[in-house]
Structure 1
Amino acid sequence: MAIATAILVGLLGLLIYLLVKYPDRSIGTKPRTDLNGPKGLPLIGNLLDIHKNEKGLIMFVYETLMEYGPNATYTLPGMGRIITINNPECLEHVMKTNFEGYIRGKMFYKLLHDVLGDGIFNTFGNNWRMQRKLSSHLFNTKNFREIIYDVFEEETKKMLNILDNFAKSGKSLDLQDLFFRFTLDAFGKITFGMDFKCLTNPDNPVQFAKSFDFTQRVLGNRLENPFWSITELFTKEGRKMREECKYLSEFGNQIIENRRNDLEALKNPKDVVNLFMNARKDNGEKLTDRELRDIVLNFIIAGRDTTAQALSWMMYNLMANPSIEEKLVKEVNSLLSEENPISSYEIVKQFQYTQATLYEALRLHPVVPDNFRVCLKDDVLPNGIPIYAGELVNWCSWAIGRDERVWGKDAKIFNPERFLNSEDGLKPNQYKFSSFNCGPRICLGQNFATMEAVMLTTAVLRQYKFEMTPGQKCPPDYACSITLPMKNPLLVKVHHRCVAEVQTADNQTLM
């Protein structure tokens, strides 16, 4: 009894000590009186602030930055102290100038590992460099001309046929789901030489896609739950997560096994799977099947999710802004015709207003909205703010895109002209417009995604007009995920454009 009492008193004393030491921040963090930020609760910091926010971490970071300035701080248990850097100069320092001094860190590696493993999105150092170097072979000019364009054209024709059927039937369709099907089919053919048949059977659910979407939602939830590794052991979501990860792992392994057994496909020197299967690491060894599987799944998230989500947000904004849609259609009609209804490789870059509209959608709805890096060694940002080893640096591209200090007073307004009228034009400063990431980790597939989106958008809008079905929330909510999908289906009615709208106007110019 005396021992139990002593233990209880000791624990109570420890608790009081911790409450006094960490009165407004998470346990294990040092005070930063030199930085502004919302005060937290003892031991758990700002965890409840995030959970009280209906839109989670992204909106919490945005509201924190709007209230406390371009740099602010908050704390979370398990993550420690987090310092936001909502200005281009600081982001350039972290992602370029001192690139080696900031890494994803063990905590985030563990958080993402059961889905992304050691793929390019979840690794650093030599492994990342090797994967990036080999991946770059996919996106060379010759591949664009010989492989990528042909697949985009083929899949675009399938999309047009599906839309034609919906226009004739008058039924509503989920445009976001259709974009996911398009990008998965296209990327599967280009990268792995396989057809997922998502557009061939547009009414049938795609098990791989369902599993992939579920696991990403769970990864998003983990960012807001520092105790996920414990709670997932006992929850229904945790059990389902383990099942879906097993399915994805088996799916990736099957791609590798099928390739090893396909002697004809193994001869294709441009296939990404072949590139990695034939590659050797610094020690001279070939990649294991586990490593190849991780690479496959990372490629799919890059090729499927990001472009499909960008297209979804772009189409919503066009429906919400008819005058912008009218200008885009004028550009389309000036470059496409009944004889040439799909853009050729040579003229894709001429769709400048369309590309600007895509970039504007990505500015406000970046497909990777939130990023974190761990500081390895004490550092000082260009604005004089010290970052201490072990502290996290966070930038939220979703928040940056809405920040008037970065984009001007019309930051929250959808305005493609900002990319046409600025000094940077259609090559914006990557540390200001970080939707394709930035620095050495800038997206290798930026031109790939842009071509895919522009080809599909222009072909579709030349023939069809979309109308949101009543009763949907505008603007749509985003889902909790590591990327930025819409939370609910984007339900639309499809209409054929009238003859006057689709006629080629030889002398039309954008206003």
Structure 2
Amino acid sequence: MDSNTLVPELDVESTGELKYSRTIADLPGPKGQPLIGNLLQMGGRQLHLTLAKWIREFGPIFRVTALGNPLVIVSDRTAVNHLLRERPDGFRRVRNLKTVMGELKIGGVFTAESEDWRKQRKLVMGGLNVEVVRNFYPTMVFMTERMLQRWKTAVADGKPVNLRRDLKALALDIIVGIAMGHDIDAVNDDNNQLQRNIDNLFQRLGSRATALIDYWRYFKLPVDRAADKSATEVEQAVEEFIRNTRERMKQQAHLQQKPANMLEAMIVASEDPESDFTDQELISNAILSVIGGEDTTSNSIAWMINLLAENPAAAAALTAEVDAVLGDAPLAHDWEMMKQFPYIEAAHNETQRLRSVAPFIGLASNADCVVSETFIPKDTGIFVATTGEGLDEAQFPQNELFQPERWIFEQKPQRDDDPTRKIFPFGGGARLCPGRFLALTEIKVVVSMIMRNFELELDTKAPPVEQIMNFFVGPSAVPVRLKLRA
């Protein structure tokens, strides 16, 4: 690990070849309690808000403690960028997260490290690359149009549209379609068991990841038994996808040479004795793709719809762009239209700045290193803020306001002024989210469809929307009514 890239040449103190000006003990941080430190302050599903508050109070690098163990929180964009780029060799995911996810049968490339990660990453990236997404695009449009018809019927009949539920269902349809090659039509199945099980898993995952005591390892409450049941049922559903796909591949021999989706590619690899890709890795990555692809994108769209409804001027600007691109078409049937939505991209960036679905990444150092002039011993926990400097008033004036225009320029800004280098919504480095391109494409297709066909009417009588961390951060509700445009 080239740790010195994180620190200027300082002669104050040194450990081997590392030079630094302070240790973790010298960092500022919130006052804790005897013995337990800040443990009680960091529990629950509002942890991300607590950490964001402390960033504003203590700056771009500070420390907290839990039961005597230090944890460093970093939001400085330069340090964040280097930390993310030095994975997986310099930094790994925290072991507790890997254990908690494994207990719920979630693993794969997300929790893999070192050579296991490199082996699995190649297959997962290949299954979600630009060519695959482009080939899948007509199916994505078909699935989006199917939801449009559902909504038009509901609005015409005077029935409410549950945006939060339907956006999750569409995201599930899309990820199962592109990754597994199956159309489950969760959008039109209000009681889809796979969607219910995934929601249940995320609730338990969020609770366990931020729990102060790992009680479920000693005794299980009804919610824990229900989560275990959901984990088993998700695994069984994915195993059925695998069985069906293997049978189809036997009947269509050409798929062995040219797989049409990620699952087919992973099956080919698992059956090749030279690939060292096991059946368990196949199952784990298939589960991960279904679970991860459902929650992140749907939450991103849900947050954007909430913010657009709260900001009519931004909604009007986005609608004008969509109308100009789509003309009389109800949605973007042409792949080339994906290049013509700069305001949607800007609205997405601004949404991630204000309402990131993954605001922090938990890391641990694989060796002694230096971060922002601070000596970090091996195995130290580090929370990296993917929002970076997004809530810094100096970097984003009036940072509490939703202003997509911050991201639109006549000329590309200089490196230090480029806002895209100040936040990290998809992570960074080699472990950049493999579903990034799919997510951005899905967001453009769905949001442009919504704004082309509907007006957003905010329910002013609804309770305030809360940020709920169920592993990823989503809105407690989407209190927005859809009204058909004339």
The TM-score, its normalising length taken from structure 1, stands at 0.83
CA distance in 2: counterparts of 1:341 and 1:234, whole angstroms: 47
2:34 aligned with 1:48: no
CA distance in 1: counterparts of 2:140 and 2:83, whole angstroms: 36
Higher relative contact order (CA 8 A, sep 6+): 2
The 5 A counterparts of 1:467-486 are: 467-474=457-464, 476-486=465-475
The 5 A counterparts of 1:179-190 are: 179-190=167-178
2:380 corresponds to: 391
Distance 1:396 1:229, change over 3 A: farther
Per-residue deviation, 1:454: 0.7
1:278 corresponds to: 268
3-state SS of 2:89 partner: helix
3-state SS of 2:26 partner: coil
Distance 1:265 1:367, change over 3 A: farther
Amino acid at match of 1:261: E
CA distance in 2: counterparts of 1:417 and 1:118, whole angstroms: 38
3-state SS of 2:382 partner: strand
Distance 1:356 1:233, change over 3 A: same
Deviations 1:204-260 (CA, angstroms, capped at 9, x unpaired): 222111111121121211232242255662322222222222222222222222222
3-state SS of 1:386 partner: strand
Per-residue deviation, 1:117: 3.9
Per-residue deviation, 1:362: 1.7
Deviations 1:317-345 (CA, angstroms, capped at 9, x unpaired): 11000000111111111111225742411
Distance 1:159 1:117, change over 3 A: closer
2:178 aligned with 1:178: no
Deviations 1:401-448 (CA, angstroms, capped at 9, x unpaired): 32324x3222221111111136179x9666522111111111222222
Q: Is the 8 A contact 2:270 2:282 kept in 1?
A: no
Per-residue deviation, 1:88: 0.8
Q: Is the 8 A contact 1:256 1:289 kept in 2?
A: no
1:152 corresponds to: 140
CA distance in 1: counterparts of 2:348 and 2:35, whole angstroms: 43
Amino acid at match of 2:192: V
CA distance in 2: counterparts of 1:446 and 1:473, whole angstroms: 32
1:80 corresponds to: 69
Amino acid at match of 2:168: F
Give the unaligned 5+ runs of structure 1.
1-30, 499-511
Distance 1:234 1:455, change over 3 A: closer
Distance 1:412 1:491, change over 3 A: closer
Amino acid at match of 2:277: L
Distance 1:216 1:428, change over 3 A: farther
2:196 corresponds to: 210
Deviations 1:90-127 (CA, angstroms, capped at 9, x unpaired): 11221114751211132221121123544111111112
Equivalent position to 1:254, from 240, 244, 256: 240
3-state SS of 1:435 partner: coil
Q: Is the 8 A contact 2:390 2:396 kept in 1?
A: no
| Identical counterparts, % of pairs | 23
Q: Is the 8 A contact 1:266 1:274 kept in 2?
A: no
Distance 1:116 1:246, change over 3 A: closer
The 5 A counterparts of 1:4-403 are: 32-51=24-43, 56-77=46-67, 80-97=69-86, 99-115=88-104, 117-145=106-134, 147-201=135-189, 204-230=190-216, 233-262=219-248, 263-264=250-251, 267-268=254-255, 269-279=259-269, 284=274, 287-339=277-329, 341-381=331-371, 383-398=372-387, 400-403=389-392
The TM-score, its normalising length taken from structure 2, stands at 0.87
Amino acid at match of 2:32: G
Deviations 1:255-276 (CA, angstroms, capped at 9, x unpaired): 2222222334674312211111
What is the alpha-carbon root mean square deviation over aligned residues? 2.5
Distance 1:428 1:250, change over 3 A: farther
2:405 aligned with 1:417: yes
Q: Is the 8 A contact 2:24 2:374 kept in 1?
A: no
Distance 1:258 1:40, change over 3 A: same
Per-residue deviation, 1:310: 0.7
Per-residue deviation, 1:187: 1.7
Amino acid at match of 2:210: E
Equivalent position to 1:454, from 411, 421, 444: 444
Distance 1:65 1:141, change over 3 A: closer
Deviations 1:330-370 (CA, angstroms, capped at 9, x unpaired): 11111112257424111211111111112211222222122
Distance 1:80 1:282, change over 3 A: farther
CA distance in 2: counterparts of 1:283 and 1:87, whole angstroms: 45
